[in-house]
Amino acid sequence: MQQPMMFFVFLDSLTDMDVPLGVLLILTGLTGFHSKTVSEVSVKAAGSISIPCCYLPQYTNHVKYLCKGYYFSSCNYKVRTDQKNSTKFSISDDKIKRIFTVTINDLTKYDSDYWCAVEIYGADVRNYFHLAVTTGQHSFYVDDQQKKAFQGGDITINCHYWHNLGEFSWCRVGRSCVTAPSGIIDGTTVTINASVPNVFSVTMSSLRLESSGWYLCVSGEFQVPVHLSVTEQPTTTPNTVRRSSASARTTPPTVPEGPNRNAPFGLMESLILTSALIFTLMAALFFCFMLKRHKQNKSASPAMKEAEEEVTYSVVKPSKKLLSERSCVEQNVDVTYSTVVSMRQQKVQKVEANDNNVTYSTLAFH
């Protein structure tokens, strides 16, 4: 429920009068923020810190921002949800869980006083938090603000402290808390173990997806925000993935059986297919060559037969002449050659056995 305007004016006057911060924290808790919020955090110089700031449902669509300064009336805007983030400051708004988160990087001793605020008509609602920046040992801290776990599993968060600051507890931001030794938050069992010196361990069991969100390690007046992300258990564990990878390196790829397989051919299948194609091509070329040669031989046979039928031979009968005293000189002029005339014969079926088809030549000597 939004408070009357006079109440906001009263709060502003209190901040200007140097009213103790403890009183302001109680009062500002009534102006729009839940009571389980961050107020005092131990941080290390040059590090970074994320601070969750939860708000009431009526401020879901309002602008949220981070303001720096001890007094809210004179603080300086550092980052807003309607503006871009910077390297030093960033902000994000989870409207479902109604929590906006501010992150401050490269912490120095001057990063001590800040306000989470929601912009509304009139005096903005806000929550103050103080950063105890140190160059030495943290007073109270966790190893990592971001934790991840699987649904149905467990997770343990170790909260370290330099000296005992007060009672240990584990709180969900904006909701309930559990003190040692055990309790339940939103259906999840919480167990706190402080048997180890300078460490108290928080174990959350049977995690649910709804267990995701911001929590606080609390010791006395100090808090350390921890964000938990719970996801579904993967079907393939990391060990199975590693075994599958090792098996893939040692086992050759296989092609699934069946007529509808879509996997690519392996090396052996490719070689077999290529060899079959080459053999088929060579067989086709050989068949074409033999067919062409057979046709050439078939067309050449009638021509040869016809050529043999067109030749007519003549008989030459030389007559010997007695040698004279000048035979050695006249030998070359005593011979007269006859002319051979070739006549084309008729076809075999029309040839008759008579002497008219034979022509004789006469050889005369001079």
Q: For residue 268, what pLDDT band results from cuts at 50, 70 and 90? A: confident
Identify the structural domains of the chain with CATH numbers, from first to last. Answer: 1-136 (2.60.40.10), 137-234 (2.60.40.10)
Q: How many Å apart are CA 223 and CA 215, to the nearest integer? A: 10
Higher pLDDT, 279 or 30: 279
pLDDT tens-digit series, residues 306-335: 545 554 555 545 544 444 444 343 444 454
Half-sphere exposure (CA, 13 Å, Cβ side) for 244? 6
What was the pLDDT predicted at 117? 97
- 199 compared with 5, residue with greater pLDDT: 199
| Closest CA relative to residue 32, chosen from 59, 5, 69, 12 | 59
Per-residue confidence band for 234, with pLDDT thresholds at 50, 70 and 90: confident
Residue 350, pLDDT score: 44
Q: Tell me the average pLDDT across 236-248.
A: 55
Instruction: Give pLDDT tens digits for 283-296.
Output: 888 888 888 877 77
Per-residue pLDDT at 186 exceeds 80: yes
Contacts of 330 (CB under 8 A, 6+ apart): 324
Statement: residue 359 has pLDDT above 80: no
Calculate mean pLDDT across residues 122-141.
91
Whether residue 207 is predicted with pLDDT greater than 80 in this model: the reply is yes
Q: Which of the two residues, 202 and 287, has the higher pLDDT score?
A: 202
Q: Please tell me the distance from the alpha carbon of residue 366 to that of residue 361, in angstroms, as a whole number.
A: 16
**For position 101, what pLDDT does the model report?**
97
pTM, two decimals, is 0.57
Whether 218 shows a pLDDT value over 80: the answer reads yes
pLDDT at 255 over 80: no
285 vs 5, more confident: 285
In angstroms, the CA 273 to CA 290 distance is 26
Q: So what's the pLDDT on residue 246?
A: 53
Confidence band of 357 (pLDDT split at 50, 70, 90) = low
Q: Is residue 117 within 8 Å of 62, Cβ to Cβ?
A: no
**Highest-confidence range of 63-67, 168-172, 179-183, by mean pLDDT?**
63-67
Tell me what pLDDT residue 12 has: 40
Tens digit of each residue's pLDDT (9 = 90 or more) over 6-25: 333 333 433 344 444 433 43
The first and second tokens of residue 362, run together, are 């006469």
More confident residue, 236 or 72: 72
Residue with tokens 């050449």: 300
pLDDT per residue as tens digits for the range 89-105: 999 999 999 999 999 99
CA angle 134, 138, 142 (to 5 degrees): 135
Average pLDDT in the chain = 75
Torsion, CA 166, CA 29, CA 64, CA 114, rounded to 10: -50
pLDDT at 134 over 60: yes
**What pLDDT, on a 0 to 100 scale, did the predictor assign at position 351?**
43
User: Does residue 248 have a pLDDT over 70?
Assistant: no
Instruction: Give the contacts of 43 (CB within 8 A, at least 6 positions apart).
Output: 49, 107, 111, 131, 132, 133, 134, 138, 141
The predicted structure's pLDDT at residue 39: 93
Q: What backbone phi and psi angles, to 5 degrees, belong to 146?
A: -105, 120
